A and B are shown apart, each in its own frame.
Chain A
């Protein structure tokens, strides 16, 4: 783990943060340390590289839809949506109205759940275990919902698939969702009451990312919004039914780890608002389930689709030459930029004690970085 760099200079070390660090995920950072100061950091990804872009060239659209779950474990439904939209744009198929509402509903629930993990991981990183347990406990209520709607707790198995959704919302889902939203509000209240005594001390003024650096390093999503870049793909590049919904983009100017945590939590509130609106306007009509088909060709063309997922901007570039399988599918994960350039930039010059706070405040996911 620790290697002495120089025999004469006994305070200079190389320190490996991860991949066996609890909670770091399958990812490691090599830190050059001088005393308590980090002099340079080098990210070392690749522990989770599964080559999805290549695998997708061998599978048809429904099979790819399942594969897109796996891009990021914690945001399976959001990645489903990005992939489904890319194929939908190529085929030009009309999506039933109710399916469009269900898509947004599930994507927003998935966003809440992902932000809860973010809060939990950050709490654990700074040694606040209660926060970790609360967040993961309340996340389970949302997983119960996923189990009811999609048939799987974590992996929805391509629930949001090209052409709509794989099956209709069960009748009992609506009441359950309202119940879970209440629980999520309870969780937010708890977070707030712990705020001043715990989270703020460790994260305030730590890992400041200013606006210019955020642009240059390619930060997106909540990380960019905490640095004063007011951009949200749901607003700027609208997809699905987002233009019809009323919500705000929480933005902060400080750019430190605390601001990122606050933005994350405010986004949960906005997501709750969206879910409520979607439930209100959800059409009553029954929806035909979508079944997989063999020899289902994707029309020729190429598209680039962007989505706002919890961690930032997700993109899929899909090129089809008229076969069942896409000719090329490029997946753009937000974490690639957050985990390599942004993290390296923020860690340089920080204190060792601040490394976990910086690391987890970036809402990272090794899975969508390595793909």
Chain B
């Protein structure tokens, strides 16, 4: 009993373990697997990311009509709703066109917005 009370008193003078989330947040370390950053100019359309993706979250699609002159090949479209953030696409990409960033704020109300197009429509 005495031990318990001592522990309680000790806890009274301690800072809380939590952070007040929207106002402050814990720092995310380097190398975190978050949202993808994709650079279409680096992409060589090899399709390796499409083939290695374990969840089939990546689909190779053609660029929209107006960009087709500049980008004639197929490019990865990433469905974040299916993505498991394993980072294989980043690892296998020969030109570092796909990279995983530290962005974790991905929750959304709109189910269509989870699909990342390779180029703006």
Contact = CB atoms under 8 A, between A and B. Distances in A.
A and B touching (Cβ–Cβ under 8 A): yes
Interface in B10-38: 17-18, 26, 28-33
A193 B3 CA distance: 5
Given A147-B32, A152-B85, A292 B4 contact: no
Interface string B46-74: 00100110100000000000000000000
Interface in A135-151: 137, 140, 144, 147-148, 151
Nearest to A67: B54
Contacts of B110: none
Contacts of B52: 62-63, 292, 294
B84 A155 contact: yes
Interface string A152-179: 1001011000000011001000000000
B3 A294 contact: no
A134 to B, nearest CB: 9
A141 B86 CA distance: 22
Contacts of A151: 31-33, 87, 100
Size band of the interface chain B makes with A: 20 to 34
Interface of B: 1, 3-4, 6-7, 17-18, 26, 28-33, 48, 51-52, 54, 84-88, 91-92, 100
Interface of A: 59, 62-63, 66-67, 137, 140, 144, 147-148, 151-152, 155, 157-158, 166-167, 170, 190, 192-194, 196-197, 289, 291-292, 294
Given A63-B52, A157-B86, 6 more contacts: A59-B54, A148-B31, A155-B85, A166-B91, A291-B92, A292-B52
